[in-house]
Amino acid sequence: MNNKIKVFEQYESIPYITRQKANIIYDLIRENKPDLCLELGFYHGKSSAVIAQALEDNGNGKLITLDLPSAFKRTPNVNDVLLSLNLSHRVDVITDEEGFHWSLMDILERDKKPKFDFAYIDGAHTWEGTGFAVFLLERMLNPGAYLVFDDLNWTIEQSNKNRERNGKKMINTKSTLRQSQTPGVLKVFNIICSEPYYTNHQRILDYGICQRSNFSLMH
């Protein structure tokens, strides 16, 4: 395990990425040296800092990270974390009230060519939210780009049980039983990100990892 990931020296206690999972992301970026990375869902910015440090240690690369503006209300927020670690120059933070799907639309409208060499999905954990994100990303990932899904086994039902225990507001309360109990991220990984569109599938911890192939969903 890499013990030099700086975000854990100052922000060990903030959610959500663990040292073990951070090591996987850090090593993947160090080994493959992407020029442009994308993150969907930054929360406090802990995983953003892991990606940014890997790029910094590579001496090259940029991360675009997307979330809702409400993420800035968290303490610390993504800008606080990146600034304190001297990693702000590696990251463009973009928010949209409508969610990151709309930010992806804006990116596609500006330039429809593939551009990303690495993408990390840690938001909109439902079948619909994750599936549509991958549909858009298919047009944005370079061949060979790595796509990493966090929380493969996440369900609305389990999330709400955890939230209830912690005294937090329930989410997606109008979901059907099937929607509540289905691990949407896992379904996207197994069904949409299948051969021949994606290759080199791996499941490590609750990560799903695959590589974009040359085969287009538009064929």
Out of 9-13, 77-81, 126-130, 171-175, which region has the weakest mean confidence (pLDDT)? 171-175
Reply yes or no on whether the pLDDT at 210 is more than 70: yes
pLDDT tens digits for range 156-195: 999 889 888 888 888 888 899 999 999 999 999 999 999 9
How does DSSP assign 161-172, residue by residue? HHHHHTTPPP--
Cβ atoms of 202 and 189 within 8 Å: the answer is no
Cβ atoms of 157 and 180 within 8 Å: the answer is yes
**In this structure, which amino acid lies at residue 27?**
D
* Dihedral class, residue 149 (left if φ above 0, else alpha if ψ from -120 to 50, else beta): beta
Q: Where are the alpha helices (DSSP H) in the chain?
A: 7-11, 19-32, 46-58, 78-84, 100-110, 127-137, 156-165, 177-181, 184-187
Residue closest to 197 by CA, chosen among 152, 151, 139: 139
pLDDT tens digits for range 27-75: 999 999 999 999 999 999 999 999 999 999 999 999 999 999 999 999 9
Distances (CA, A) of 154 to 47, 64, 150: 18, 24, 9
Range 140-149 average pLDDT:
98
Cβ atoms of 90 and 7 within 8 Å: the answer is no
